A and B are shown apart, each in its own frame.
Chain A
C-alpha cells in the first residue's frame, strides 16, 4: 500500500516554456501533498505544501508564480514550472501524507528529472 506515482519521470524542455508534473496517490486518499526539490548529491528541500481544495503554502524563498501547484482531488496534485530556465533543472519529488487520523507518514513518488535547455 501507500504507492505514489509521478509523471513524467524525465522531461526536457526549452527555456521559456512551461512543464507540468503530476503526482498521484494510487491506493489511498492523500489530504496533503508536498513538493520537494533535490539538487545532485544534496538533501530534499521542501518547496510547498498543498491541501486538497485549497491554495498551496509555499516555503520561504519559493516563488509561487513560478511554481504553480494545484491539488484538485485527494489523489492528484500537479506542479507546473512556468517560464522554465536552466537553473530550474533539478529532481522534483512529491510526497503524499495525511492518510488518516494523526498520521505523520509521507510516502514519496519516484521523482521527475527536469532538464531545461
Chain B
C-alpha cells in the first residue's frame, strides 16, 4: 500500500527566512498531492495542492514542487511569519483514488 514519509518532524526558522518540508511517496499511481496546515485543536486546512501532470505550483509565499520520477514533493514557504507556525501535513492519494494517506507531519515554529 501507499506509504508517505515526511521530513523534518520539527523545523524552527527565523521570521523572514524560508522553510522547506519534504515528502516521499511509494505508490507511482498516486496523482494528487495536497498540503494541509493544522493549528492546535483545529481541523486541517488545505493550503496548496499539485497534480501529477504539473511540476510546480505557486500561490503567493507558498509553492509546491513535484518530482514524479523520484516520487517526492516539497512545500516551500518564503518570508515566513509567526502566524505560519503550525503543523503541516503532506498527503498522497493511493492508486489514484479519492482517499488520502497522510505524512507524519512537520511542526514548524517561526521565531520572531
Contacts and interface: CB of A to CB of B under 8 A. Distances in A.
A63 interface: no
Interface in B42-81: 42-46, 49, 51
Interface stretch (A12-20, A68-76, A77-85, A108-116): A108-116
A94 to B, nearest CB: 8
Interface string B8-26: 0000000000000000000
A98 B100 CA distance: 13
Interface residues of B, number: 21
A42 B51 CA distance: 26
A104 B32 contact: yes
Contact of B43 (A45, A97, A111): A111
B95 to A, nearest CB: 12
Given A43-B103, A43-B105, A108-B36, A98 B98 contact: yes
Interface residues of A, number: 23
Contact of A44 (B46, B51, B102): B102
Q: Which of B49, B98, B100 has the most chain A CB within a 10 Å cutoff?
A: B98
Given A98-B98, A104-B32, A108-B36, A43 B89 contact: yes
The A interface is mostly helix, strand or loop, or mixed, namely strand
A67 interface: no
Contacts of B49: 104-105
Nearest to A10: B41
Given A34-B99, A93-B43, 17 more contacts: A42-B105, A43-B89, A43-B103, A43-B104, A44-B44, A44-B102, A46-B100, A46-B101, A46-B102, A98-B98, A105-B46, A106-B34, A106-B46, A106-B98, A108-B36, A108-B44, A111-B41
Interface of A: 4, 6, 32, 34, 42-46, 49, 93, 95, 97-98, 104-111, 113
